[in-house]
Every structure is written in C-alpha cells, then in structure tokens.
C-alpha cells in the first residue's frame, strides 16, 4: 500500500541524461536503505507514470514520482493519551509534550507513553503511520517534539540535525545564576562509569555544546534564574549536565539537582517547589522535508513552571 501523496520531481535541463538513481539521491536525497525498499515495489518509483528501473537515464521534462511505503507501529498499543497538537500535515506531527510522559515505550514503559497516544490518535482518524520521533525529550521535560510520519521525512530532518541547521531552544529554571549573563559551554559528555544512568563531563566523551543566556534573576543574592538555552549538539542529558557544570543545576532535578552544588550557601531554594525538573522545550525550527520552507514551532511555558516563576518573583 502506498501513501496518498507521492514525492514528485520534474527533470530540468541540468539533469538531462542523468541516471534516475543519481536524481533520486542528489535531488530527492533518498537514502540507500529507502531506495532499496522502493525498488522492490511495483509502484515505488515511477517515471512518467510507469514503473522505472533506477539505472535508466532521464530526459528534461520527465516526471519522477516516488510513492513512499505506508508503515505502522505494530508493536505499539494504541491508547488514548492526551497531548496538544501544534501542527500536522501529511509528513509531520508536531506536539506539545506534557511533563511526566515517556516519549517511546521502553522496558518498563510499554503503555502510557506519548507513542501509545499518537498511534491511537492516528488510528481514530483512519491514518496509518509509524511512530518516528525525530528527537527525544526526557520524561520530565515538557515542550515541542517533532514526529515524522514517514521514513523519508525522518531522514530529511535527521540530515538537518547532523548539519546543525535545526534550531532547538529551551527554557530552564535553575538554582543560583551562571557566572556570566550569557555564554557557551563546550564540554564533552560521557556515561558515568560509577552510575550508568548519569552523564558527566569527561575529556574523552562526546563533544557537547550549549549556548545560554540568562533571562531573569530571582532574589538578592540570586537564589534562582530563568535561562534560555540553545543546543548545538544533542547529547543525552546535555542541558542538565552543562547547567550543573556551571554551578546552577535545574530546579527539581532529582538526578543532577541542588545536592550537587558545592556548598549550602548556594542552595537557597527549598525542596518541593516543582514536582519535576524545570525544563521546557520552548521552540524548534527546521526546513520542511518536502517543501524546504523554514518552519518554526513553539510551546508556551506550562502552568507548573509559570507558577514557580510567579513564586520566585514574590519571594
């Protein structure tokens, strides 16, 4: 079964005489894996309406159509889970993930995940797609999450992530305040040998770069701050580890939180102000995988972080 909306490309004079497979790779940027899958389908790759072999040359004016195979997540149980849709079309689903929900079923989290809810939502509207999150958010992190509705869309946006053209911005409420109002943390991160759940700064880790800017400071001397962060890389727990490295861990972070601060003087906030780590994926920007248009999506701060900010402003 094929998707209702194929990829279409009209051969120009510049591509006249190219092999079809060259056009598919260089212009439509099909991966070898997807191209191999399409070649096995009777209607996967059409040239002027007929099935075509990828080694044939094309002429200016030829119409290439690629019918992406429909996939579904047969291993994910459909389950009604509430979430807010920011944007959806035939290729993408952008949601505002609530805090406290796991993105994808894992060992110990087979149900009650965002994936269960999205698969249920698609089934209810009669749409068949495989759940393909383009990036991940921690269970306790809220905000913008992008989901691809095809292997092709996932591949195209993943290429943007690798090239550094995807923009991801976060808002965090942290203990204390960074040493500078704005700056960059360029510190490699790796798995803690003593605790596999945790990540630490280590010279032989994976390079991790976080840009930050303080938006607001609470208390005098500072007890907390609102920080806007932009990720240049996307390592596991990157923001949490880098903020702790700066001496201002996330409020409510049970793994990298205030207990890691070097002295009691810096721990000015009481426990229990918020029931999770105060981190929100505020915005996400990338080029649409089909049209190439630049798209930007945002999600307002959730109520628990708004309440925390209101409390910090009055203390």
- Indicate the length of the chain as a whole number: 315
Cis peptide bond prior to 285, omega within 30° of 0: no
Q: Which of 62, 138, 253, 304 is catalytic?
A: 138
Distance spanning both ends of the chain, measured CA to CA: 60
Task: Spell out a b/e string for 183-199, using b for 16 or more CB atoms within 10 Å of the CB, else e.
Answer: eebebbbbbeeeeeeeb
- CA dihedral 279→302→97→223, nearest 10 degrees, is 10
* CA pair distance 251, 308, nearest whole angstrom: 10
* CA pair distance 165, 43, nearest whole angstrom: 33
Active site residue 138: yes
- Give the Cα-Cα-Cα angle 25, 32, 148 (nearest 5 degrees): 85
Q: How many helices (H) and strands (E) does the chain have?
A: 6, 16
- Give the Cα-Cα-Cα angle 88, 103, 212 (nearest 5 degrees): 85
* CA pair distance 280, 263, nearest whole angstrom: 27
- As annotated, the active-site residues are 138
């Amino acid at each position: 079964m094929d998707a209702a909306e194929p990829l279409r490309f009209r051969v120009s004079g510049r591509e006249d005489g190219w092999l079809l497979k060259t056009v598919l790779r260089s212009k439509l940027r099909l991966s070898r894996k997807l191209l191999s899958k399409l070649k096995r389908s009777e209607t996967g790759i059409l040239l002027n309406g007929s099935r075509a072999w990828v080694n044939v040359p094309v002429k200016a004016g030829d119409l290439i159509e690629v019918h992406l195979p429909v996939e579904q997540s047969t291993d994910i149980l459909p389950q009604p889970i509430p979430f807010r849709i920011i944007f959806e079309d035939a290729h993408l689903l952008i949601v505002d993930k609530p805090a406290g929900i796991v993105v994808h079923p894992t060992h110990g989290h087979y149900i009650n995940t965002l994936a269960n809810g999205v698969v249920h939502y698609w089934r209810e509207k009669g749409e068949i797609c495989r759940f393909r999150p383009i990036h991940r958010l921690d269970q306790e992190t809220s905000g913008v999450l992008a989901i691809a509705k095809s292997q092709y869309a996932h591949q195209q946006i993943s290429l943007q992530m690798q090239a550094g053209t995807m923009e991801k911005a976060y808002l965090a409420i942290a203990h204390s305040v960074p040493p500078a109002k704005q700056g960059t943390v360029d510190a490699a991160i790796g798995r803690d040998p003593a605790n596999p759940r945790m990540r630490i700064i280590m010279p032989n880790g994976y390079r991790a770069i976080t840009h930050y800017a303080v938006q607001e400071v609470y208390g005098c001397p500072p007890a907390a701050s609102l920080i806007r962060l932009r990720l240049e890389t996307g390592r596991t727990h990157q923001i949490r580890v880098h903020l702790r490295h700066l001496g201002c861990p996330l409020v409510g972070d049970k793994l990298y939180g205030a207990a890691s601060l070097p002295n009691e003087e810096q721990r000015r906030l009481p426990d229990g102000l918020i029931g999770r780590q105060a981190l929100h994926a505020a915005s996400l920007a990338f080029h649409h995988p089909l049209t190439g248009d630049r798209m930007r999506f945002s999600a307002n701060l959730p109520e628990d972080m708004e309440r925390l900010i209101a409390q910090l402003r009055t203390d």
